[in-house]
Chains A and B, each alone.
Chain A
């Protein structure tokens, strides 16, 4: 029967049969997806070994967004056509999608396709892609995806991946521990190995290396405050537990618990007490204990270091001042006081929070380690996150434990050296020395920092010089080398401008305590540091003043100058009359009583520096009272004064002179609103001689030991 062809699909006539079928499928796709699939199904059965046909089938179901079908096609392709480049483009797009969370439709679809592959195909796909990858990072990442999806493969691939990552990091010459290989190793591989259903076998040497790398990584996250690692300690402890489990450490379980310093401490302490002191440092037991104690110590130390940096201003532990117990308290029977160990220093800090001002006396036992475990642990749990003092004492007691057994001490020291935490440790060591009263050692180490080597580096910031001088001043004060202490204090006052301004007066510098010593965590800002220096000089002058034998020794002039200086200095702590610092009022009245006993009082710079109303009123009262008025000379002779003018003095009976004195005092009272801090800084810088002359009577010839 004669029939002519409709000239449709002209070009199709020259296509191969395979291409013809693919073309029909593609054409049908736009009009009727079902027909397209029917064509593809037919083509697949006709040419099961033709890549183009099979791949087109995949593309068609892919454009139809049919995940299940696409997965089926892809699986067939993976089984049959592993060598085809076009397939690998697709596989690479898929593995790229797996590694990202890109919400675009294409990657999301590919991820869904992957999820619908059989587990065998998933594993094969990742394995083969990883093997093909020339980039190490790529290779490792793909293996990591494989391992995270197939925990059972960790046993096989984990150890090899550890090697790969370690050597990749080594050959990349990174300067920092926080690098991409380390991150992959520590953050992903270690937890995967820890969670492996079948224990992963690694040689102990390798495990220790991993341990170091891991701790180093998280410590560097801590110091750099990496925003991608919000909770490094949590992760570090989990990783530590994984590795400890792989090392068969029985203590591993301790590190699986949520963090609580006291809970950990009790368990580690118990292990410690059962540890035989003569064990070989390389033994399993000692190593285990050294690492656990070391890492626990580091966390305590970090909590302490962070807490002294957590406020607006850094805190610095310094020797502070003890108020002798009142007579009534001193008369208490000793048995009542014995519950406090007097050799343990009282440590105070000014709380920024409004809950309390410093450590109330009831808390003064915070420095006593485990005086009563049941109550102290309960209290510590409450305070652990808030109190700097408990952080300090907890770290101290841990440090004491570390050093109590020689093999452990060696193990921990070695670990700490490897981890390069000198910066934290040196700060802490100084605190330990001060706390334990090993102050000579502290002074020596501080003075060594003064060596020309260090100074030549020229990069010593002003702040660290102030810190050093504060430490030295407080150390000399402790050693009763008062002139040296005052000298450092005066140097600090000269450098105050380099400190951040602000801060408030501390009510805790002077404490009444049964303990022999008082340490204070001073806030490093202008006001408290000035207050500390002033208090230290005041305290020194007071001792100088008290130590003078009655009726002998110091000349009247010297004595007046000493009292005058103290009056100037006390003004800071008297401050606002409503809230004088503890002890300030008492000291002022002592000084006034002293003047009262004298016929005259001469302090030529009085009008320059004394503006406190209370002091001025007392002086006024002493000068104009009916009986035995004290004769005051309180202004220096001035060249600008006319000869007719008199020195401001109450000497003589000149009525005009008395009026002059009164008006001079009124002028001083008028100045009482002047800020005190600049005034005192000016005093301690301009009138240094007034202070020095007293402490070094033969200043020209006498050089104090330093």
Chain B
């Protein structure tokens, strides 16, 4: 191996961006990817690699260490360059000098990707990542998407960086150009692992406990794409569980456990009717509350998307929430069942699909909503409006169905008793007959 020294930086400085970025990538790969000997890079080598990335690839600093920034055009050039590099280079088999023979091209690629975007990635570089992945989606660049999927899992689908990436992608694909969704239809078959992790992240993004009401409705276009993905690909939600990450990771890395989108998306389906009701109630409440509509969440400025969810015309047989939720809910249930009774014969089903804690986390927002509704009630004795009643019924039915199917399909892991105890707190709510049936069915005597 040719020693890479500080003089390398001098030679890189001779060329301008983006030519220097390409050369720098080759150098970084040489430094980060373990060579035939299997020796991991030394700390010194890693430091050099970091410096080269900062100065020549992402151009975050100049030669004197002062921070600078790429122009918009240059950012796009960089994304293009990275896409081409990841797609075009046969990692590990024929390096630039023909001497690098890695054990596995995918591993080499993932190693480089993880080095480029470490957990400590700066805000600017995170922005570059969004541009890279966004471009990879639109150009169907499978290598980049595969590496992104692994990167998401290793960092954790609910980590801040990953959430930032998902936010950026949602903005690009669902907010700015809603028509672009047709381009996403075959994403699950192109990059199932990435899509599954993306689903998990967006599911959390709109259903995290920090949100007001525990749930904020996703943009309609996103909901539509998610529903279609899950309906058409019954195994999609399980994709992250199926992949064995170990051989794909850099030497010595520990694969992170996968988190499936089930619990998060179930939360969407359970909480969506409740939110629709509270919103419409607020709307009826008068202009005084109008300001809260749409400005509650600065992080995701997509509140207006939910306005069509609140449509109601007094006809009680027509669901007051977007019908896509019903379809998504069914698709999720079917995906769970598919895991146990696959339509195509598979050797074994995947265990540990959804944790009981994760499922049980849906209970609290329901409780909160109910208490709030009753508090707001002006009638004596305090009771729910007809509308709220129906919303609650729908929410409880969906919750009951989710829990029942997850338990029956043997998909839930963890302390089931905890889940049942949580559910038990909802037992006294009206219209919870299904919940009572589920509890009765899964009740195990304590003695």
* B433 engages A45 (CB within 8 Å): no
* B333 engages A42 (CB within 8 Å): yes
* A41 engages B326 (CB within 8 Å): no
* B430 engages A5 (CB within 8 Å): yes
Partner among A2, A3, A6, A17 whose Cβ is within 8 Å of the Cβ of B386: A6
Contacts A31-B319, A45-B404 known; A1 to B437 CB distance under 8 Å? no
Contacts A2-B382, A3-B383, A42-B401 known; A32 to B329 CB distance under 8 Å? no
Residues from chain A with Cβ under 8 Å of B430 in the complex: 3, 5-6
* B323 engages A32 (CB within 8 Å): yes
Interface of B is mostly: helix
Partner among A3, A12, A20, A39 whose Cβ is within 8 Å of the Cβ of B401: A39
Considering the complex, give the chain A residue whose CB is closest to the CB of B440: A17
Residues from chain A with Cβ under 8 Å of B374 in the complex: 1, 3
Considering the complex, give the chain B residue whose CB is closest to the CB of A31: B317
Residues from chain B with Cβ under 8 Å of A46 in the complex: 404, 408, 437-438, 441
| C-alpha gap A42/B384 in the complex (Å) | 27
Interface string of A1-35 (1 = CB under 8 A from B): 11111101000100001001100100000111011
| C-alpha gap A35/B273 in the complex (Å) | 13
Interface of A is mostly: helix
| C-alpha gap A5/B383 in the complex (Å) | 9
Q: Does B400 contact A (CB under 8 A)?
A: yes
Contacts A42-B434, A46-B408 known; A35 to B382 CB distance under 8 Å? no
Contacts A3-B430, A5-B430, A32-B323 known; A38 to B401 CB distance under 8 Å? yes
Considering the complex, give the chain A residue whose CB is closest to the CB of B337: A41
Contacts A5-B430, A32-B319, A72-B343 known; A41 to B330 CB distance under 8 Å? yes
Considering the complex, give the chain A residue whose CB is closest to the CB of B343: A72
| C-alpha gap A42/B317 in the complex (Å) | 22
* B405 engages A42 (CB within 8 Å): yes
- Which of A17, A20, A34 is most buried by chain B, counting CB atoms within 10 A of its CB? A34
Q: Does A299 contact B (CB under 8 A)?
A: no
CB distance from B43 to the nearest CB of A (A): 54
Q: Does A37 contact B (CB under 8 A)?
A: yes
* A42 engages B400 (CB within 8 Å): yes
Contacts A2-B381, A45-B409, A46-B408 known; A34 to B319 CB distance under 8 Å? no
Interface residues of B in 378-409 (CB under 8 A from A): 381-384, 386, 389, 397-398, 400-401, 404-405, 408-409
- Which of A5, A21, A35, A37 is most buried by chain B, counting CB atoms within 10 A of its CB? A35
Interface string of B325-337 (1 = CB under 8 A from A): 0110110011001
Residues from chain B with Cβ under 8 Å of A32 in the complex: 319, 323, 326
* B326 engages A34 (CB within 8 Å): yes
| C-alpha gap A37/B326 in the complex (Å) | 10
* A31 engages B404 (CB within 8 Å): no
Q: Does B176 contact A (CB under 8 A)?
A: no
| C-alpha gap A72/B398 in the complex (Å) | 24
Interface residues of A in 34-72 (CB under 8 A from B): 34-35, 37-39, 41-42, 45-46, 72
* B333 engages A38 (CB within 8 Å): yes
Considering the complex, give the chain B residue whose CB is closest to the CB of A72: B343
* A45 engages B382 (CB within 8 Å): no
Partner among A4, A39, A45 whose Cβ is within 8 Å of the Cβ of B381: A4
Q: Does B72 contact A (CB under 8 A)?
A: no
Residues from chain A with Cβ under 8 Å of B433 in the complex: 12, 20
Q: Does B6 contact A (CB under 8 A)?
A: no
Residues from chain A with Cβ under 8 Å of B437 in the complex: 17, 20-21, 46
Considering the complex, give the chain A residue whose CB is closest to the CB of B374: A1
Considering the complex, give the chain B residue whose CB is closest to the CB of A68: B343
| C-alpha gap A42/B440 in the complex (Å) | 14
Considering the complex, give the chain A residue whose CB is closest to the CB of B436: A17
| C-alpha gap A17/B327 in the complex (Å) | 24
Residues from chain A with Cβ under 8 Å of B386 in the complex: 6
Interface residues of B in 294-345 (CB under 8 A from A): 317-319, 323, 326-327, 329-330, 333-334, 337, 343
CB distance from A19 to the nearest CB of B (A): 12
Residues from chain A with Cβ under 8 Å of B317 in the complex: 30-31
Residues from chain B with Cβ under 8 Å of A20 in the complex: 433, 437
| C-alpha gap A39/B404 in the complex (Å) | 11
Considering the complex, give the chain B residue whose CB is closest to the CB of A13: B433
Nearest 9 interchain pairs by C-beta = A45-B408, A34-B326, A34-B330, A42-B401, A38-B330, A34-B327, A2-B381, A6-B389, A17-B437
The 30 sampled A-B contact pairs (Cβ below 8 Å) are A1-B428, A3-B374, A5-B431, A6-B386, A6-B430, A17-B437, A20-B433, A21-B437, A30-B317, A31-B318, A32-B319, A34-B327, A34-B330, A35-B329, A38-B326, A38-B330, A38-B333, A39-B401, A41-B330, A41-B333, A41-B337, A42-B400, A42-B401, A42-B404, A45-B404, A45-B405, A45-B408, A46-B437, A46-B438, A46-B441
